[in-house]
């Protein structure tokens, strides 16, 4: 009895067919999708938490100001900027989870294989995902840097991480804001690497399926063995 992805037994299907095990390249691809799901979910959750700590205002590219002895976010970006980054990361994480569950189910129960059309569609989605993750990572990188530069320019603290220990107005604002933004950025960069590897694996699978089979010629050993079976071995001439 063969086992599919995750050790699932290849259960017999009607008509005597068993569930096909996935190719090893696709198994590696699914492992990367699982890691990409975790990274995307972490980036979306931490950014959403940070935006919530600023009462729904997006702190990326924000400007800080002194309010007596405390800090305050004088102005921030449009909330849609944070919604875009968190939404893109969350939707890609959901896509990875659904795709992972689908292929695990298919390898355990159904006899489903990905054809060339499905591979081309997956390739296009991966390219779009790389673009979205790259944009999100850059927005987090430069948006956080702009906010930190604004904070340190007030000469109230020397670093953004130290600014988390300073009281903010209103009280409770900016709770672990730098740690959350830093984790979201790191998760996005790791997610970008994972998607790039997924794209490379999909290109390799597409090229391997597109490799044409070479016809046998008279000089090939396979040609000799086949013709020997049909017409008998050739006699060697002195």
pLDDT value of position 3: 47
Nearest C-alpha neighbor of 140 from the set 195, 187, 93, 94: 187
pLDDT value of position 218: 53
More confident residue, 117 or 1: 117
pLDDT value of position 221: 53
Distance of alpha carbon 42 from alpha carbon 143, whole angstroms: 18
Asked if residue 219 belongs to a domain, the reply is no
Asked if residue 160 belongs to a domain, the reply is yes
Q: Is 198 helix (H, G, I), strand (E, B) or coil?
A: helix
What average pLDDT does range 73-102 have in this prediction?
93
Helix runs in the chain, H state only: 24-53, 79-108, 116-152, 160-163, 177-210, 221-231
Question: CB–CB of 37/93 below 8 Å?
Answer: yes
Please state the domain count of the chain.
1
In which region does residue 166 sit, left (phi positive, over 0), alpha (psi from -120 to 50) or beta (all else)? Answer: beta
Name beta bridge partners: 64: 73
Question: CB–CB of 44/90 below 8 Å?
Answer: yes
DSSP 158: S
Q: What is the pLDDT of residues 217-233, one digit of tens each?
A: 555 554 454 444 444 55
pLDDT score of 170 more than 70: yes
Boundaries of domain holding 84: 28-121+137-207
Asked if residue 149 belongs to a domain, the reply is yes
pLDDT value of position 232: 52
Asked if residue 237 belongs to a domain, the reply is no
Asked if residue 47 belongs to a domain, the reply is yes
Question: CB–CB of 51/180 below 8 Å?
Answer: no
Q: What is the pLDDT of residues 31-63, one digit of tens each?
A: 999 999 999 999 999 999 999 888 889 999 999
Distance of alpha carbon 195 from alpha carbon 39, whole angstroms: 11
Asked if residue 238 belongs to a domain, the reply is no
Distance of alpha carbon 114 from alpha carbon 17, whole angstroms: 17
pLDDT score of 119 more than 50: yes
Asked if residue 39 belongs to a domain, the reply is yes
Asked if residue 221 belongs to a domain, the reply is no
Band of pLDDT at residue 19, cut at 50, 70 and 90: very low
Band of pLDDT at residue 211, cut at 50, 70 and 90: low
């Amino acid at each position: 009895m063969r086992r599919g992805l995750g050790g699932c037994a290849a259960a017999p299907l009607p008509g005597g067919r068993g569930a096909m095990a996935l190719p090893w390249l696709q198994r590696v691809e699914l492992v990367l999708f699982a890691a990409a799901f975790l990274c995307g979910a972490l980036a979306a959750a931490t950014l959403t938490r940070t935006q919530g700590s600023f009462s729904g205002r997006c702190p990326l590219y924000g400007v800080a100001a002194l309010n007596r002895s405390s800090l305050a976010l004088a102005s921030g970006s449009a909330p849609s900027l944070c919604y875009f980054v968190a939404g893109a990361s969350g939707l890609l994480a959901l896509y990875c989870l659904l795709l992972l569950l689908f292929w695990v189910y298919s390898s355990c129960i159904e006899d489903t294989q990905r054809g060339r059309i499905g591979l081309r569609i997956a390739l296009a989605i991966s390219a779009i995902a790389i673009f979205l993750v790259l944009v999100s990572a850059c927005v987090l990188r430069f948006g956080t840097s702009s906010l930190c530069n604004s904070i340190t320019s007030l000469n109230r603290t020397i670093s953004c991480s130290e600014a988390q220990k300073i009281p903010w107005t209103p009280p409770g604002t900016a709770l672990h804001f730098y740690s959350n933004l830093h984790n979201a950025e790191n998760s996005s960069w790791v997610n970008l690497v994972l998607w790039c590897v997924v794209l490379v694996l999909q290109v390799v699978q597409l090229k391997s399926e597109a490799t044409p089979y070479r016809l046998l010629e008279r000089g090939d050993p396979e040609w000799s063995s086949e013709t020997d079976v049909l017409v008998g071995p050739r006699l060697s001439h002195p």
